Structure 1
Amino acid sequence: MRPLTEDDVRASFVNASPDELRIVALPTDFLLADWDHLDFFAWRDPRTRGRGYVIAEIDGDVRGVVLRSADGTSRARSAMCDLCHTTQPADQVTLFTARKAGEAGEHGDSVGRYICADLSCHENVRLAMPLAPNEVRASVDRRIDGTRRRTEAFVERVVETAGSRR
C-alpha cells in the first residue's frame, strides 16, 4: 500500500459525514506504519467506542470506510472472520456495519461483515500456523492475497451504488 498522510486518510472515507470526519482519531502508531508491508490499513478508533476504519487501495485509488461495531456478545463459542478467514473465540469476532456511500447510505442502506474485533486481520494471516485446528492450512501468501481481495470487495460493496466520490 502506498504511504498515506493524515489528509489522505481523511479524504479517503466514502461513507463519512463532515462531522464524522472531524472526529476521526488515527491510531497512536500511525506515523510508524510500515506501508510497504500493508495490504490495507485498519484500526479501531482509540477515542470512540464502537467505531473502526478500513482503508484499501483499489485500482490505484485509496478508499476508506467508517465501521460501527455491534453491541452485545454472541452465544457462539467460536466465529470466523469474513475477511481473514481465521476462526477465533466468538468474543474476538464482531459484526461491523458500514453505511453505504452516497444516496443509498442516506436512505439507511448498509453492509455488514463479521470481522476480527481488533481489526487485526492483516497480522492474523501472517501467522505461520492456523489459529484453530479446523482452519485450512493454506500458504501464508494465499491467505494474505485472499484477505486483501475480500477487504477490497467489502470496501467496493460500500461504494458500489455511490459512483465515484473522489
Structure 2
Amino acid sequence: MKALTEHDIRTSFVNCSKGEAQRAALPRDLADRPWADLDFLGWRDPGALDRAYLVAEHGDRIVGVALRIAVQRRGFLHRNMCSLCLTTHPGAGVSMMTARKAGRAGRDGNSAGLYVCTDLACSLYVRGRKRPEIGGRFDETLTVGQQIERTQAKLAAFLDQLLVGSTSQPMSMKGD
C-alpha cells in the first residue's frame, strides 16, 4: 500500500458525512507505519472504543470506511478466527465489525459486517511481522504471497459489498 496523508484518508470515506470524516481521530503515527507491508490502514478510535476505520486501495481509488465494533463478552478460552487473514485469537481478539453501506443503501440503514482482528493488524499477521499473543495461524500449503492475495481478495469483496449501487466517489489514485 502506498503511504497515505491525512488529506488522503479524510477524503476517502464513502460511508460517513464529510463532517464525520473530519472529526475522525486519525492515527498520529502515519509516517511510521510499515506501508509496504500493509494491505489496508486500519485503526481503532481511542476516544470511542466501539469505532474503527479502514482505508484501502480498491481498484483505482482509495476507499475509507467507518466501522462499528460489536460489544462482546467472551471468555478467554473462547477462540475466533479473523475472516480476512484467518488468524485465531482468544477472547476479544476478533470482533464483528459492521459498516454502513455507501450512498442511499447506507442512508436506508443497510450495512455489512465481518469478523476481523480487533487490532486490525491482519496484514502484519499474514506476513509474519506480528504474532498474536495467544492463538496463531494455521500451517497452510499456500505461500505467504498466496495468503496475501487471499486476504486482499476478501477485503475487496467486503468493500464491494459496501459500495454496491453507490455513486460515492472516493478519492482517485490516478495522477499520484
C-alpha change, 1:142 and 1:90, in structure 2 (3 Å) is farther
- Could you say which residue in structure 2 is the equivalent of 1:97? 98
C-alpha change, 1:135 and 1:26, in structure 2 (3 Å) is same
Contact 2:99 2:113 in 1 (8 A): yes
Mapping of 1:119-134 within 5 angstroms? Answer: 119-127=120-128, 132=135
Aligned AA for 1:120? A
- Could you say which residue in structure 2 is the equivalent of 1:15? 15
TM-score between both structures, scaled by the size of structure 1: 0.89
Contact 1:12 1:64 in 2 (8 A): yes
Aligned AA for 2:78? R
Contact 1:27 1:46 in 2 (8 A): no
- Could you say which residue in structure 1 is the equivalent of 2:160? 156
Mapping of 1:137-156 within 5 angstroms? Answer: 137=140, 138-156=142-160
TM-score between both structures, scaled by the size of structure 2: 0.84
Q: What per-residue deviation string (whole Å, max 9, x for no partner) do you get for residues 114-146 of structure 1?
A: 111111111111128x96578242322222121
Deviation, 1:26, is: 1.2
Deviation, 1:55, is: 1.1
Q: Which runs of 5+ in 2 are unaligned?
A: 171-176
Structure with greater proportional helix content? 1
Mapping of 1:13-162 within 5 angstroms? Answer: 13-74=13-74, 77-127=78-128, 132=135, 135-137=138-140, 138-162=142-166
**Aligned partner of residue 11 in structure 2, secondary structure:** helix
Aligned AA for 1:160? V
Aligned AA for 2:9? V
Deviation, 1:106, is: 0.5
Q: Which runs of 5+ in 1 are unaligned?
A: none
C-alpha separation in 2, matches of 1:121 and 1:99:
21
C-alpha separation in 2, matches of 1:125 and 1:87:
12
Contact 1:64 1:155 in 2 (8 A): no
Aligned AA for 1:29? D
C-alpha change, 1:77 and 1:62, in structure 2 (3 Å) is same
Q: Is structure 2 residue 169 aligned with structure 1 residue 165?
A: yes
C-alpha separation in 1, matches of 2:18 and 2:145:
38
Contact 1:51 1:69 in 2 (8 A): yes
- Could you say which residue in structure 1 is the equivalent of 2:174? none
What is the percentage of aligned positions where both structures have the same residue? 39
List structure 1 runs of 4+ shifted beyond 6 angstroms: none
